[in-house]
């Protein structure tokens, strides 16, 4: 696409051009979302306000690096609409390679044909391998069996790598195209993350107990009655994790092990992670049913809480108390000065978010990236 200099360079002083690099971006898909620069100069952060471009026309954006900017030897960058789920792609929907320049002055003209939407489209060859571990895995703590799945990186069979592991509740709604209420599409989201080299992970998906779901995800005595959550947690930590670590190439340490879920699955994941901090170093908690136990109090002054990361998400259109409950939970978790220095909590709130799979799907890759791969370059 040709860039019309008249719109911009008329009022651009030559001496200013000589004192810094100007990026000029044109794009065919224009909307109200801002455009950000993400690169090797800001740890590939996707919503860095210091690198937000100025909109100067329809589909036309500008950014000028400061005159004293410390340039890397080669400047690497991409354009995003504020998240990797909304990063630039080419006209056919393909991933674009990192842009690069060695310029420190002058004008660099760039063009973006399309933007990703909610991490899609995805490439079939990057889809994770879906393996049914067992359709009747023994749960001795509950004297039951359960269907359990593993989602392995697409190239698992051809690599010698070991991977971090995330244990997720409610497998029926994670990747099943025929799920009654929709699904998180974690297989597709993992495919895009792998394609973009954000990181690869093993997901262990545990199906819920159908009519006994609430009972298994409920811990102790609550408004739902007496739960079986303690036994379920022991199953995940004492039976399932040792099996997974023995049969797959996993990174077994707590800093590489996470647990998560949504709604009641989020609640049981809170209890699992904080009762066994020596096992789980990452918690992915979406829209947790904290109403079940409003007076939830967990002693987190354990030394093994070191470097625990919690990604906490809630939608503003879920219930009257959801936002209040998650904020209260975060404040309680960080109320101890000892814990505050050891624990990181990323609270993500979508004011329009509803209590359903669509919104949890959108949040899933953001949570995985922050929990496991925030220090990796894209």
Instruction: Categorize the per-residue pLDDT at 317 as very low, low, confident or very high, splitting at 50, 70 and 90.
Output: very high
Q: Is residue 1 part of a domain?
A: no
**Residues 53, 130 within the same domain:** no
Domain of residue 95 covers 6-115
**Phi and psi torsions of 167, nearest 5°:** -95, 120
Instruction: Categorize the per-residue pLDDT at 296 as very low, low, confident or very high, splitting at 50, 70 and 90.
Output: low
* Tokens, residue 257: 């092990």
Domains of the chain: total: 2
Q: Is residue 87 part of a domain?
A: yes
**Residues 147, 296 within the same domain:** yes
Q: Is residue 263 part of a domain?
A: yes
* pLDDT recorded at residue 299: 62
Residue 352 has pLDDT above 80, yes or no: yes
Instruction: Categorize the per-residue pLDDT at 116 as very low, low, confident or very high, splitting at 50, 70 and 90.
Output: confident
Length of the chain: 378
CATH number for the domain including 193? 3.40.50.1820
- Average pLDDT on 197-210 reads 95
**Residues 237, 212 within the same domain:** yes
Residue 75 has pLDDT above 60, yes or no: yes
**Residues 195, 299 within the same domain:** yes
Q: Is residue 204 part of a domain?
A: yes
**Residues 272, 167 within the same domain:** yes
* pLDDT recorded at residue 20: 87
**Residues 213, 290 within the same domain:** yes
pLDDT one-digit tens code per residue, 155-192: 999 999 999 999 999 999 999 888 877 899 999 999 98
**Residues 276, 161 within the same domain:** yes
**Residues 158, 76 within the same domain:** no
SS (H, E, C) the chain: CCCCCHHHHCCCCHHHHHCCEEEEEEECCCCCCCCEEEECCCCCCCCCHHHECEEEECCEEEEECCCCCCCCCCEEEEEECCCHHHEEECCCCCECCCEEECCCCEEEEEEECEECECCECCCHHHCCEEEEEEEEEEECCCCEEEEEEEEECCCHHHCCCCECEEEECCHHHCCCCCCCCCCCCHHHHHHHHHHCCCCCCEEEEECCCHHHHHHHCCCCEECCEECCHHHHHHHHHHHHHHHHHHHCCECCCHHHEEEEEECHHHHHHHHHHHHCCCCCCEEEEECCCHHHCCCCCCCCCCHHHCCEEEEEEEECCCCCCHHHHHHHHHHHHCCCHHHHCCEEEEEEEECCCCCCHHHHHHHHHHHHHHHHCCCCCC
CATH number for the domain including 35? 2.60.40.10
Q: Is residue 285 part of a domain?
A: yes
Residue 30 has pLDDT above 90, yes or no: no
**Residues 200, 313 within the same domain:** yes
Q: Is residue 352 part of a domain?
A: yes
**Residues 237, 345 within the same domain:** yes
**Residues 22, 155 within the same domain:** no
Q: Using an 8 Å Cβ cutoff, are 326 and 288 in contact?
A: yes
**Residues 128, 154 within the same domain:** yes
* pLDDT recorded at residue 375: 61
């Amino acid at each position: 696409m040709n860039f019309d200099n008249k719109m911009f360079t008329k009022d651009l002083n030559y001496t200013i051009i000589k004192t810094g690099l100007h990026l000029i971006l044109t794009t065919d898909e224009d909307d109200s979302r801002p455009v950000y620069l993400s690169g090797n100069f800001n740890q590939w952060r996707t919503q860095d306000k210091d690198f937000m471009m100025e909109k100067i026309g329809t589909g036309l954006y500008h950014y000028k690096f400061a005159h004293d900017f410390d340039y890397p030897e080669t400047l690497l960058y991409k354009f995003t609409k504020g998240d990797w789920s909304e990063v630039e792609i080419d006209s056919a929907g393909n991933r674009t390679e990192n842009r690069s320049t060695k310029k420190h002055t002058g004008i660099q003209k760039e063009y973006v044909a399309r933007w990703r939407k909610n991490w899609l489209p995805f490439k079939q060859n990057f889809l994770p391998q879906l393996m049914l571990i067992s359709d009747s895995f023994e749960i001795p703590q509950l004297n039951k069996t359960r269907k359990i799945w593993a989602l392995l990186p697409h190239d698992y069979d051809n690599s010698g790598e070991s991977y971090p592991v995330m244990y997720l509740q409610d497998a029926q709604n994670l990747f099943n195209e025929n799920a009654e209420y929709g699904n998180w599409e974690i297989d597709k989201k993992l495919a895009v993350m792998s394609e973009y080299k954000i990181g690869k992970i093993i997901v262990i998906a545990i199906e819920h107990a159908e009519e006994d779901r609430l009972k298994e995800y409920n811990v102790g005595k609550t408004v739902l009655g007496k739960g079986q959550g303690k036994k379920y947690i022991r199953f995940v930590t004492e039976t399932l994790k040792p099996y997974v670590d023995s049969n797959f190439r996993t990174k077994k340490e707590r800093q590489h092990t996470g647990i998560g879920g949504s709604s009641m699955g989020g609640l049981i994941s809170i209890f699992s992670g904080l009762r066994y901090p020596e096992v789980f170093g990452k918690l992915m908690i979406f829209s947790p049913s904290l109403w079940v136990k409003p007076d939830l109090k967990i002693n987190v002054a354990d030394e093994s809480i070191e470097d625990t990361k919690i990604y906490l998400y809630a939608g503003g259109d879920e219930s009257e108390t959801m936002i209040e409950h998650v904020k209260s939970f975060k404040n309680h978790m960080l109320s101890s000065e000892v814990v505050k220095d050891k624990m990181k909590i990323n609270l993500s709130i979508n004011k329009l978010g509803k209590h359903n799979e669509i919104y949890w799907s959108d949040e899933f890759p953001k949570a995985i990236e922050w929990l496991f791969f925030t220090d990796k370059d894209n």
